[in-house]
Chain A
């Protein structure tokens, strides 16, 4: 109380009458809101924003993908006029320079910015780091880009949800294509969780199929020159090269692969690449067969995806990269789950995320309750022989797996999952 209030004189800014009128008005608003199907008017009056914490890299090797991931997230909020539960949405975007930095910033978002949920983790190592914070702080977290097995495997937790299929699912989809090209494989993978998972899963596949891995290199992240690695591959004469390089590392590799005359001589394949990785290579050097989570001109896209492409192109004058879609879809799943929960309470959001579903053809797409892995088809695509413009680099070969039963088999069951889900 101010000194004037303490004296109880007329200088007080709030009279008993105005206080009563205000309280009456507030009660009437709450009554109207709850009785006329407008449960959010009370919150709107308060206009307290719903804060979502976003952790996409602003610096470093993954920043090209992260820019699109963030753009997609903001776009999802914009499409709702930045409103949720009758309150404004406020997205707070911090950097994830490395796993330690990602954890610090995730904690800052929770403690200082009081966010009700997190989205981010452009690389597996970053997503695993953020997931640990989400678990400790009991805050829902959507990992929209990471593919490392452990995220929804042995390091799964009740608060972490993952959009991208894990490495082993991508492998089950792409490896049969690679096997048709030959059984002598060479792996060149990044020396971090994503690359190591690719190396292990493809080696496992080809060994069981009676083939062999004739050479294998783990490459430091942000390697600038791959020529020495390419000379080794050239000498090993494999039938196929399996890549596990992320973002601009893949771009650099493919440029030098072509420069050293390997394009068209030995096929190159990799899982879970992004549009920007290929767009940056250029039409002269681009090559390979890949899996992608989503492709903007995939004939198999849903009506909602097509509407997203149209709206995005209208706003940005270019087709959305797969990462823009992933940022958008991840954020959409989160916002719609908060709406479904009618609450910003972490436990309620987690429950809503577990039940949130959208239809993609014959498939109900959503996060599985036993490991929080999103289950949906993956796109197998191949770089076109003749690239017509700077965006349209790939032909879609297949949306795989084809049937619901095959999808279940590719993603594995609760019994085969390494995830031992904890409770809220």
Chain B
């Protein structure tokens, strides 16, 4: 039994890291733009479809362009639609992004049809890594490494680059950043684009594991919201810890109470919010008070 628990925990960690990648974009978009982006899952789905098309037509290396294209699409969406919502009633953002999610799903269905499209991991990542009771496929290990690399890079970008410092400052007091002569609209477009890029990256990595279907966004968006809520809205480290917690909790519930595995992350969220209503690393943000 101990072997199974260790094996499930390792597997849960991989799943958790994938969730983190989806959630982190959602978290930074909320933290810095104040928009609860219901369309975040759509960017995940677009990332998967783009990766599929690029890999099929030009080979797997071309699929790496998918997150960048998704990021660019995200910036266009921000500049044309999202921008008009800043400082307005939060409900408007919910309605617009929800409508965007429905529109994106309809467009994907129009282009690719409603049926699942085959998309499997590249043959170079076929096979497993077995270490004692732990069994992880090479592709999942790659997903884990890419995710960790993306998270560390993004953290370093926020921490050590001037643009990162501006983003962090803007997330706390956007008005003051603007008064200092910084072009705030471009900054916000960039942040939204980065959030979408991360969702696209998650879609590219998850596409070969999950079913690529227009409605796949819904499978991604709920865990992302749960993770952001558990970690604390807008918290980078909170999203990472929460993602791993959700992954491990889901894996353990599958081992011991499989019928409850779908509800496990919601029970975890409820338990954490009862103890700490702002989430694990949630802080008091003046601009949202």
Q: Which residues of A contact B (CB under 8 A)?
A: 59-61, 63-64, 66-68, 191, 217-225, 227-229, 231-232, 234-235, 248, 251-252, 255-256, 258-261, 276-277, 279-285, 321, 390
Contacts and interface: CB of A to CB of B under 8 A. Distances in A.
B135 interface: yes
Given A228-B254, A259-B137, A280 B215 contact: no
Interface size for chain B: under 10, 10 to 19, 20 to 34, or 35 or more residues? Answer: 35 or more
Interface string B120-132: 1100000110000
Interface in B94-131: 105, 109, 113-121, 127-128
A76 B236 CA distance: 54
A248 B211 contact: yes
A276 B116 contact: yes
Given A67-B113, A222-B219, A252 B121 contact: no
A273 to B, nearest CB: 13
A229 to B, nearest CB: 6
Interface in B120-157: 120-121, 127-128, 135, 137, 139-140
Given A66-B114, A232-B4, A191 B259 contact: yes
A255 B118 CA distance: 9
Contact of A220 (B114, B215, B262): B262
Given A217-B258, A284-B120, A60 B7 contact: no
Nearest to B105: A59
Given A220-B262, A251-B211, A261 B128 contact: yes
B159 to A, nearest CB: 31
B23 interface: no
Given A223-B261, A252-B210, A280-B212, A64 B120 contact: no
7 contacts: A64-B115, A220-B259, A260-B128, A260-B137, A261-B128, A280-B211, A283-B118
A220 B115 contact: no
A187 to B, nearest CB: 11
A42 to B, nearest CB: 41
A218 B4 contact: no
Interface stretch (B8-16, B174-182, B271-279): B8-16
Contact of A224 (B119, B140, B210, B259): B210
B140 A227 contact: yes
The 8 closest A-B pairs by CB, nearest first: A280-B116, A220-B262, A282-B118, A67-B114, A228-B254, A217-B258, A276-B115, A224-B219
A229 B254 contact: yes
Contacts of A259: 120-121, 137, 139-140, 208-209
A225 B247 CA distance: 10
A251 B116 contact: yes
A235 B8 CA distance: 11
A225 B115 CA distance: 19
Contacts of A59: 105, 215
Nearest to A276: B115
Contact of A280 (B4, B7, B115): B115
B3 to A, nearest CB: 8
A7 to B, nearest CB: 54
A218 B253 CA distance: 12
Nearest to A231: B7
Interface centre among B4, B121, B211 (most CB of A within 10 A): B211
Contacts of A68: 114-115
A260 B214 CA distance: 25
A252 B211 contact: yes
Interface centre among A191, A227, A276 (most CB of B within 10 A): A227
Contacts of B214: 63
B251 interface: yes
Nearest to B128: A261
A279 B255 contact: no
A87 B212 CA distance: 42
A129 B218 CA distance: 23
Contact of B262 (A223, A231, A235): A223
A220 B135 CA distance: 24
B120 A255 contact: yes
A232 B8 CA distance: 9
Interface centre among A59, A68, A191, A259 (most CB of B within 10 A): A259
A276 B214 CA distance: 14
A45 B206 CA distance: 57
A281 B137 contact: no
B18 to A, nearest CB: 8
Interface in B199-222: 206, 208-215, 218-220
A225 B135 contact: no
A248 B105 CA distance: 16
Contacts of B211: 248, 251-252, 255, 280
A248 B114 contact: no
A275 to B, nearest CB: 8
B93 to A, nearest CB: 22
Contacts of A63: 109, 114, 213-215
A256 B209 contact: yes
Given A225-B15, A280-B212, A67 B118 contact: no
